[in-house]
Amino acid sequence: MYNDFTYKTYKKILLKFLSGHKNLTFSDFKRPKINYERFFIIRHDIDYCLEKALKMAEIDNSLSIRSTFFLQLSSPYYNLFDDKSYNIINKILSLKHEIGLHYDVNNYETRNKYNLKKEINILSSLISRKVSSISMHNPGINGLKLIKHQNLINAYSNMFKKNINYYSDSAGSWRNSTYDFLTSEIVPKKVQFLFHPIFWDSSKGDRYIRLDNFINAKKKYWVNEKFNIEKLWLNHKGLKEHMKRINKK
Ligand SMILES: [Zn+2]
Protein backbone atom coordinates (compact mmCIF):
# COMPACT_ATOMS: atom_id res chain seq x y z
CA MET A 1 0.00 0.00 0.00
CA TYR A 2 2.91 2.39 0.60
CA ASN A 3 3.50 2.45 -3.14
CA ASP A 4 0.05 3.77 -4.06
CA PHE A 5 0.84 7.36 -2.92
CA THR A 6 -2.74 8.08 -1.92
CA TYR A 7 -3.87 10.51 0.76
CA LYS A 8 -5.16 7.50 2.68
CA THR A 9 -1.63 6.09 2.80
CA TYR A 10 -0.21 9.50 3.60
CA LYS A 11 -2.49 9.72 6.63
CA LYS A 12 -1.47 6.23 7.69
CA ILE A 13 2.18 7.33 7.67
CA LEU A 14 1.41 10.44 9.72
CA LEU A 15 -0.53 8.38 12.24
CA LYS A 16 2.67 6.49 13.07
CA PHE A 17 3.97 9.57 14.84
CA LEU A 18 0.92 10.56 16.77
CA SER A 19 1.43 8.42 19.84
CA GLY A 20 4.18 9.77 21.97
CA HIS A 21 6.08 11.98 19.53
CA LYS A 22 6.17 15.74 19.89
CA ASN A 23 5.32 17.54 16.64
CA LEU A 24 7.79 20.31 15.76
CA THR A 25 8.34 22.72 12.89
CA PHE A 26 11.81 23.94 11.93
CA SER A 27 11.53 27.34 13.59
CA ASP A 28 10.81 25.57 16.90
CA PHE A 29 14.54 24.80 16.93
CA LYS A 30 15.35 28.49 17.25
CA ARG A 31 14.25 28.28 20.85
CA PRO A 32 17.20 27.64 23.11
CA LYS A 33 17.52 24.29 24.81
CA ILE A 34 14.93 22.48 22.75
CA ASN A 35 15.43 18.97 23.92
CA TYR A 36 12.61 16.57 23.26
CA GLU A 37 13.31 12.87 23.55
CA ARG A 38 10.89 11.94 20.80
CA PHE A 39 9.74 14.25 18.04
CA PHE A 40 8.84 14.40 14.36
CA ILE A 41 9.08 17.16 11.79
CA ILE A 42 6.92 17.06 8.66
CA ARG A 43 8.49 18.96 5.80
CA HIS A 44 6.95 19.78 2.43
CA ASP A 45 9.12 21.06 -0.42
CA ILE A 46 6.90 22.70 -3.02
CA ASP A 47 8.44 22.22 -6.46
CA TYR A 48 5.36 22.30 -8.69
CA CYS A 49 1.93 22.87 -7.28
CA LEU A 50 0.59 25.11 -4.52
CA GLU A 51 -2.92 23.67 -4.74
CA LYS A 52 -1.55 20.29 -3.76
CA ALA A 53 0.44 21.91 -0.96
CA LEU A 54 -2.83 23.25 0.44
CA LYS A 55 -4.40 19.80 0.25
CA MET A 56 -1.59 18.40 2.39
CA ALA A 57 -1.80 21.37 4.74
CA GLU A 58 -5.46 20.48 5.30
CA ILE A 59 -4.75 16.80 5.89
CA ASP A 60 -1.95 17.63 8.34
CA ASN A 61 -4.20 20.06 10.14
CA SER A 62 -7.02 17.48 10.34
CA LEU A 63 -4.59 15.39 12.41
CA SER A 64 -3.51 18.46 14.44
CA ILE A 65 -0.07 18.33 12.84
CA ARG A 66 1.92 21.48 12.14
CA SER A 67 4.24 21.17 9.16
CA THR A 68 6.79 23.35 7.42
CA PHE A 69 6.12 24.27 3.78
CA PHE A 70 9.16 25.37 1.80
CA LEU A 71 8.26 27.62 -1.14
CA GLN A 72 10.32 28.72 -4.14
CA LEU A 73 10.48 32.34 -5.14
CA SER A 74 11.68 31.64 -8.65
CA SER A 75 9.64 28.58 -9.54
CA PRO A 76 8.83 28.25 -13.25
CA TYR A 77 5.64 26.40 -12.22
CA TYR A 78 3.96 28.75 -9.76
CA ASN A 79 4.02 32.42 -8.96
CA LEU A 80 3.84 33.33 -5.29
CA PHE A 81 2.72 36.84 -6.15
CA ASP A 82 -0.55 36.11 -7.94
CA ASP A 83 -3.83 36.30 -6.04
CA LYS A 84 -4.51 32.58 -6.14
CA SER A 85 -1.14 31.78 -4.58
CA TYR A 86 -1.47 34.54 -2.04
CA ASN A 87 -4.77 33.09 -0.86
CA ILE A 88 -3.31 29.59 -0.66
CA ILE A 89 -0.32 30.79 1.37
CA ASN A 90 -2.64 32.57 3.79
CA LYS A 91 -4.78 29.45 4.13
CA ILE A 92 -1.68 27.36 4.88
CA LEU A 93 -0.62 29.89 7.52
CA SER A 94 -4.12 29.99 9.02
CA LEU A 95 -3.82 26.22 9.54
CA LYS A 96 -0.87 26.99 11.87
CA HIS A 97 1.84 25.70 9.54
CA GLU A 98 5.21 27.33 9.01
CA ILE A 99 6.48 28.76 5.71
CA GLY A 100 10.16 28.53 4.78
CA LEU A 101 12.23 29.26 1.69
CA HIS A 102 13.03 26.48 -0.80
CA TYR A 103 16.18 27.91 -2.33
CA ASP A 104 17.56 27.04 -5.74
CA VAL A 105 21.32 27.55 -5.90
CA ASN A 106 21.20 27.71 -9.71
CA ASN A 107 19.63 31.15 -9.38
CA TYR A 108 22.35 32.38 -7.08
CA GLU A 109 25.06 31.18 -9.43
CA THR A 110 23.63 32.43 -12.71
CA ARG A 111 21.62 35.45 -11.74
CA ASN A 112 23.44 38.04 -9.66
CA LYS A 113 20.25 39.80 -8.72
CA TYR A 114 19.22 36.89 -6.54
CA ASN A 115 20.72 35.86 -3.29
CA LEU A 116 19.42 34.08 -0.25
CA LYS A 117 19.10 37.16 1.92
CA LYS A 118 17.07 39.00 -0.71
CA GLU A 119 14.77 36.03 -1.18
CA ILE A 120 14.26 35.71 2.58
CA ASN A 121 13.35 39.40 2.77
CA ILE A 122 10.93 39.17 -0.15
CA LEU A 123 9.23 36.05 1.20
CA SER A 124 9.02 37.51 4.73
CA SER A 125 7.45 40.65 3.37
CA LEU A 126 4.98 38.66 1.24
CA ILE A 127 3.74 36.53 4.13
CA SER A 128 4.04 39.35 6.71
CA ARG A 129 6.02 37.25 9.11
CA LYS A 130 9.57 36.23 9.75
CA VAL A 131 11.01 33.42 7.63
CA SER A 132 13.49 31.42 9.70
CA SER A 133 13.86 28.14 7.84
CA ILE A 134 15.37 27.17 4.50
CA SER A 135 15.71 23.98 2.47
CA MET A 136 17.68 23.44 -0.70
CA HIS A 137 16.00 22.46 -3.99
CA ASN A 138 17.42 19.38 -5.77
CA PRO A 139 20.44 18.61 -3.59
CA GLY A 140 20.58 15.20 -5.27
CA ILE A 141 21.12 16.85 -8.67
CA ASN A 142 23.02 20.04 -7.80
CA GLY A 143 25.03 18.56 -4.95
CA LEU A 144 24.26 19.76 -1.47
CA LYS A 145 25.13 23.44 -1.12
CA LEU A 146 24.57 24.03 2.52
CA ILE A 147 24.07 27.74 3.03
CA LYS A 148 24.77 28.55 6.63
CA HIS A 149 23.42 31.68 8.18
CA GLN A 150 23.32 32.31 11.89
CA ASN A 151 19.69 33.42 11.87
CA LEU A 152 18.40 30.72 9.57
CA ILE A 153 17.68 27.06 10.15
CA ASN A 154 18.74 24.85 7.26
CA ALA A 155 16.77 21.60 6.94
CA TYR A 156 19.90 19.87 5.63
CA SER A 157 22.18 20.98 8.44
CA ASN A 158 23.76 18.34 10.65
CA MET A 159 21.29 19.19 13.35
CA PHE A 160 18.53 17.62 11.21
CA LYS A 161 20.50 14.89 9.51
CA LYS A 162 22.96 13.44 11.97
CA ASN A 163 20.91 12.69 15.03
CA ILE A 164 17.55 12.58 13.35
CA ASN A 165 16.23 9.82 11.10
CA TYR A 166 15.57 11.38 7.72
CA TYR A 167 13.00 9.96 5.29
CA SER A 168 11.80 11.30 1.96
CA ASP A 169 9.45 10.54 -0.94
CA SER A 170 11.88 12.13 -3.45
CA ALA A 171 11.12 11.27 -7.10
CA GLY A 172 7.95 9.55 -5.89
CA SER A 173 10.02 6.66 -4.59
CA TRP A 174 11.15 5.12 -1.33
CA ARG A 175 14.74 4.43 -0.42
CA ASN A 176 15.23 1.06 1.24
CA SER A 177 15.74 2.65 4.65
CA THR A 178 12.47 4.60 4.26
CA TYR A 179 10.53 1.53 3.12
CA ASP A 180 11.93 -0.45 6.06
CA PHE A 181 10.72 2.27 8.39
CA LEU A 182 7.27 2.40 6.75
CA THR A 183 6.76 -1.33 7.03
CA SER A 184 8.09 -1.60 10.55
CA GLU A 185 6.19 -1.08 13.78
CA ILE A 186 9.07 0.82 15.29
CA VAL A 187 9.19 4.60 15.07
CA PRO A 188 12.64 6.11 15.71
CA LYS A 189 12.84 8.70 18.44
CA LYS A 190 13.62 11.67 16.18
CA VAL A 191 12.34 11.91 12.63
CA GLN A 192 12.31 14.41 9.76
CA PHE A 193 9.98 13.27 6.96
CA LEU A 194 9.97 15.11 3.63
CA PHE A 195 6.85 14.86 1.46
CA HIS A 196 6.47 16.47 -1.98
CA PRO A 197 2.74 17.14 -2.50
CA ILE A 198 2.98 16.55 -6.29
CA PHE A 199 3.30 12.77 -5.76
CA TRP A 200 0.14 12.37 -3.68
CA ASP A 201 -3.53 12.28 -4.65
CA SER A 202 -6.93 10.80 -3.77
CA SER A 203 -6.56 7.94 -6.25
CA LYS A 204 -3.65 5.54 -6.73
CA GLY A 205 -0.89 6.62 -9.09
CA ASP A 206 2.82 6.68 -9.69
CA ARG A 207 5.08 9.68 -10.44
CA TYR A 208 4.27 9.61 -14.18
CA ILE A 209 0.52 9.66 -13.61
CA ARG A 210 0.94 12.53 -11.14
CA LEU A 211 3.08 14.47 -13.61
CA ASP A 212 0.57 13.88 -16.44
CA ASN A 213 -2.25 15.13 -14.23
CA PHE A 214 -0.24 18.22 -13.33
CA ILE A 215 0.67 18.98 -16.96
CA ASN A 216 -2.91 18.34 -18.17
CA ALA A 217 -4.30 20.74 -15.56
CA LYS A 218 -1.77 23.35 -16.71
CA LYS A 219 -2.80 22.79 -20.35
CA LYS A 220 -6.45 23.26 -19.44
CA TYR A 221 -5.55 26.41 -17.57
CA TRP A 222 -3.59 27.88 -20.49
CA VAL A 223 -6.25 27.03 -23.08
CA ASN A 224 -8.72 28.94 -20.91
CA GLU A 225 -6.24 31.81 -20.51
CA LYS A 226 -5.82 31.97 -24.30
CA PHE A 227 -9.57 32.43 -24.59
CA ASN A 228 -9.51 35.17 -21.92
CA ILE A 229 -6.63 37.03 -23.58
CA GLU A 230 -8.38 36.95 -26.96
CA LYS A 231 -11.57 38.24 -25.35
CA LEU A 232 -9.62 41.06 -23.73
CA TRP A 233 -8.14 42.05 -27.10
CA LEU A 234 -11.54 41.98 -28.81
CA ASN A 235 -12.88 44.53 -26.36
CA HIS A 236 -9.93 46.86 -26.82
CA LYS A 237 -10.94 50.18 -28.41
CA GLY A 238 -7.71 50.44 -30.39
CA LEU A 239 -8.20 46.99 -31.87
CA LYS A 240 -11.77 47.84 -32.91
CA GLU A 241 -10.54 50.95 -34.73
CA HIS A 242 -7.67 48.98 -36.25
CA MET A 243 -9.96 46.26 -37.60
CA LYS A 244 -12.51 48.76 -38.93
CA ARG A 245 -9.72 50.51 -40.87
CA ILE A 246 -8.34 47.25 -42.25
CA ASN A 247 -11.76 45.97 -43.27
CA LYS A 248 -12.49 49.21 -45.16
CA LYS A 249 -9.63 48.61 -47.54
ZN1 LIG B 1 12.66 21.00 -4.49
Over the stretch 3-51, which tens digit does the pLDDT of each residue have?
A: 999 999 999 999 999 988 999 999 999 887 777 889 999 999 999 999 9
pLDDT of residue 185: 92
CA 45–ligand 1 middle distance (angstroms): 5
Dist CA 151 CA 143 (whole Å): 23
Average pLDDT over residues 62-66: 98
The percent of residues above 90 in pLDDT, for the chain, comes to 79
Q: What is the pLDDT of residue 113?
A: 58
Is the pLDDT confidence value at 219 over 80? yes
Note the pLDDT of residue 116. Answer: 87
pLDDT at 26: 96
pLDDT band at 138 (very low <50, low <70, confident <90, very high): confident
Pairing of strands 153-154, 165-168: unpaired
Give the mean pLDDT of 111-120: 77
Cα 70 to averaged position of ligand 1 atoms, centre (Å): 8
Q: For residue 90, what pLDDT band results from cuts at 50, 70 and 90?
A: very high
Going from the Cα of 177 to the center of ligand 1, the distance in angstroms, rounded, reads 21
Q: pLDDT value at position 183?
A: 96
Residues forming beta bridges with residue 190, ordered by sequence position: 39
Interacting residues of 111 by C-beta distance below 8 A, sequence separation 6+: none
Kindly tell me the sign of the dihedral angle through the C-alpha atoms of 149, 151, 154, 160.
Answer: positive
- More confident position, 219 or 145: 219
Q: Using only C-alpha atoms, what is the Rg of the chain? A: 21
Domain with residues 7-204, CATH architecture: Alpha-Beta Barrel (3.20)
pTM beyond 0.75: the answer is: yes
pLDDT attached to residue 142: 67
Tell me the CA–centroid distance for residue 185 and ligand 1, in Å.
29
Domain positions in the chain are 7-204, 208-248
**What is the 96 CA–ligand 1 centroid distance (Å)?**
22
Phi and psi at 146, nearest 5°, equal: -85, 100
| Cα of 196 from ligand 1 centre, angstroms | 8
Ligand 1 centroid to Cα of residue 226, in Å, is: 29
Output the CA 138–ligand 1 centroid distance in Å. 5
Q: CB count, 10 Å around CB of 59?
A: 17
pLDDT of residue 114: 63
- Which pLDDT value is given to residue 239? 94
Q: What's the CA-to-centroid distance between 22 and ligand 1, angstroms?
A: 26
Distance (Å) from CA 127 to ligand 1 centroid: 20
- Residues written for the chain: 249
> How many Å lie between the centroid of ligand 1 and the Cα of residue 188?
25
Q: What confidence score (pLDDT) does residue 56 get?
A: 98
